[in-house]
Amino acid sequence: MPNRFTITLLLIAFIGFTNLSCQTNSPLSNYNEYCATCHGDDMNGGNSASLIDGVWAYGSDVESINKNIKDGIELDGMPAFGDVLSQKEINELTQMFIKGEQPQFLQNLSPSEKVETFDYDVSIVEITDDLEEPWGIAFLDASTILVTEKPGPVRIIENGKLREKPIAGTPDVFYHGQGGMLDVSVDPEFAQNQWIYLAYSHEINGKGMTKIIRGKIDNYNWINEELLFEAPSEFYVDTRHHFGSRIVFDSKGHLYFSIGDRGKRNHAQDLTKPNGKVHRIFKDGKIPNDNPFLNVENAIPSIYSYGNRNPQGLAVDPETDLLWATEHGQKGGDELNIIRSGNNYGWDVITYGVNYDGTESTEKRKMPGMEVPILFWRPSIAVCGLDFYYGNLFDKWNGHLLVGALKFEEVRILDIEDERVIHQEILIKDKGRVRDVAVSPDGSIYVVLNSPDKIIRLTPDN
């Protein structure tokens, strides 16, 4: 029969084992592991909303936040973490969120207004901070700029000043989750035809899908609207994420636009569905007769490529006329691709990412008939906004590719040679989530930021 001393030792060992087996990670560690990919390293937002702005779409009380972390929010593409986090860990995360403030070390960050790169010292000037969720930017000329705000308005900046009132008469948008007024693009022949193009999330009976229109602006009014692409109503879905979308043009008069998979990942491989694709039409909405799936039964005729998860960066290199795209992965697996006619880019059969809860999405990285990316980022930097630099101010960067990142709050500049990335450098960091990046006709670089919502301009520091 064991004596009292032996029993005490056994009890101590049992308690120690129990505490070890029930050990949990810190709230900040769990945030970095499971939440930062979407909500940003500083909680100001990434692919998904800020957690410190006081706006809670699905309830701000402890019980609601706990439930959302545990069970997920399917409509907005938030996964459930109940299988990878204990109830104690979920409670601790909720308490961290509900305080509505960043950890102290993040509050102390103070980005400078000048940055050094390998080739240039760069000066940063704030153009405006009087915006609500700016998303896309386009130039009518070097002094006249259009900016979309996700809730719906299209704003105009003239001679460096934001006009107080938005453009009147633009369409209502499906402003939920990642949906809203998305991209704006100006016709390459704008001086002759005055056409302006918009991509936005459109609603039918509470469901949404990306829609493309064009129109003109007369005395700050949206007029002469024409429909270029609208999916049949049966393809609208009730999720609130992965709408894409960018609009770009090539030299042959084609218009390209992207639609994300809308959270229906298997749709990306289905040619009868519009989502998870890059589309090609003419500027008036007509379908080119050499589109790759025009004669495939039941295929959406505008599809140009498929297997695309959520491309939020499109750019045509004016030197080569090649279409490049940046595409959101999951937790890792952001991609840079050259989009070619009829190609399958693999989602959701192959990927370099994993599910947001850390589980394997697929073990496959390559498959016959599926394209692998020119470059991928792991961990995910949350790519968004893309443009080729051609201009006189940064002439050493001509032909380089500017890539924006939401989660990592960066603009990267990529040196491209023979369709390969031979070098990449961080141009700016920690100014805010980079939603769009674009080159002005005067050669300066404009960056659209979220959290804080503002537009900044980059020029060489002379």
Out of 241, 242, 254, 328, which one is annotated catalytic? 242
Helices and strands in the chain: count of H runs, count of E runs: 7, 25
Whole-angstrom CA distances from 414 to 208, 297, 381 are 34, 40, 14
Long-range residue pairs from 361-364, CB within 8 A, at least 24 positions apart, any chain: 361/330
CB-based contacts of 268, cutoff 8 Å, min separation 6: 261, 275, 276, 277, 306, 307, 308, 309, 347, 348
Closest by alpha carbon to 318, among 259, 247, 400, 436?
Answer: 400
Instruction: Establish whether 328 is a catalytic residue.
Output: no
The helix/strand/coil state of 64 is helix
Its sign, for the CA torsion 429, 430, 436, 437, is negative
Residue 72 near residue 79 (C-beta atoms within 8 A): yes
What's 267's DSSP letter?
G
Strand locations in 303-440, DSSP E?
303-306, 311-316, 323-327, 334-339, 375-377, 383-388, 401-405, 410-417, 420-429, 433-439
Question: Which residues are designated catalytic?
Answer: 242
